[in-house]
Amino acid sequence: MAPEQWADLWTGTRAIAPLMPGAVVFGMAFGALVQVVGLPGWLAPYASSTVTAGASQIAIVEALRQGAPAIIAIVTALVINARLALYSAALAPIFAPFPLRWRLALAYLMTDQSAAVSSFEAERWPDPVRRRWFILGVSGPFVGVWILGTAAGVVLGPVIPESWQIGFIVPLMFIAVLVPGLRAWPSVAAAGISVAVVLALKDLPYGLNVLAGALTGFALGSLVPERPRRPRGEVPPQAVPEAGDP
């Protein structure tokens, strides 16, 4: 590997570095959660290095904790991860000149954060070879710290006192990822409907209320028009909400 490739890789890693502490804390919360539920600790880094999408991993653990059948846990996770198809479509033209093995490997390392940074910065990398090293630098180390954070959570989980209520990181993390990007009406409606359905159906077994809320919010939100009538002169909202997760 030439020095220039190292430099491009490192540039990519620096571009995503501000988001790394969040991934570490989130990973720790997931690692601790796996232990709290009574699953063996090794499953946490296993999940983080194979599924590599924190929201769905937490949904799986919650479903299993409530005794859900495996198929419900899997379907819930895949519904939550369906958003990655959008990033995949957005990255397709950026990845198009790469060799197939690079495309397959970079897809494996794709997260909300790395997809956002990669698609935002890609136009500054016209040379496909340099671009692929840059994107590897964005994606790879980020997944690395996510897995390390998970492992740290498994180790530290039993040491953290119950009274600290570390479980609060789950709603907090998703508020931090979700709310700053909530601008357009369809996404506000999708989120609001989802919350209402989850709470209204709270007595459904196996965490099915989460699946029902996500599906209803997504389906009804699609019916909301992109730009409602607004007073003249007002600036239209930013388009797509920026998600952030493993």
Partner 1 sequence: MTLTAFIVFTLAAIGTYLIRISGIVLLGGDRDLPPRVRKALSLVAPAAMAAIVANSLFLDAGEWRAFGAWHLAAIVAVAVALWKRSMGWTLSLGALSFAALLLAGL
Q: Which of residues 25-54 bind partner 1 (CB under 8 A)?
A: 25, 38-40, 43, 46-47, 50-53
By the 10 Å C-beta count (0-12 exposed, 13-18 middle, 19+ buried), 144 is classed as: middle
Residues 88-127 as x/- pattern, contact with partner 1 by CB under 8 A: xxxxxx-xxx-----xx--xx-x-x---------------
Q: How far is the CB of 197 from partner 1 (least distance, A)?
A: 8
- Per the CB < 8 A criterion, the answer to whether 223 and 89 are in contact is no
- Using rule CB under 8 A, residue 13 touches partner 1: no
- Which of 87, 154, 93 lies closest to 125, judged by CA? 93
Q: What is the DSSP letter of 226?
A: S
Q: Assess contact for 150 and 61: CB atoms under 8 A.
A: no
Q: Which of residues 136-195 bind partner 1 (CB under 8 A)?
A: 163-165, 167-182, 186-188, 190-195
Provide the terminal-to-terminal Cα distance of the chain, rounded to the nearest Å: 29
Select the span of 7-15, 122-130, 140-148, 236-244 touching partner 1 (CB under 8 A).
Answer: 236-244
Closest of 19, 50, 4, 15 to residue 150, by C-alpha: 50
Kindly write out the interface string for residues 49-88 of this chain, putting x where it contacts partner 1 by CB under 8 A and - elsewhere. -xxxx-xxxxxxxx-x-x---x--xx--xxxxxxxxxxxx
| Nearest-approach distance from CB 164 to partner 1, in angstroms | 7
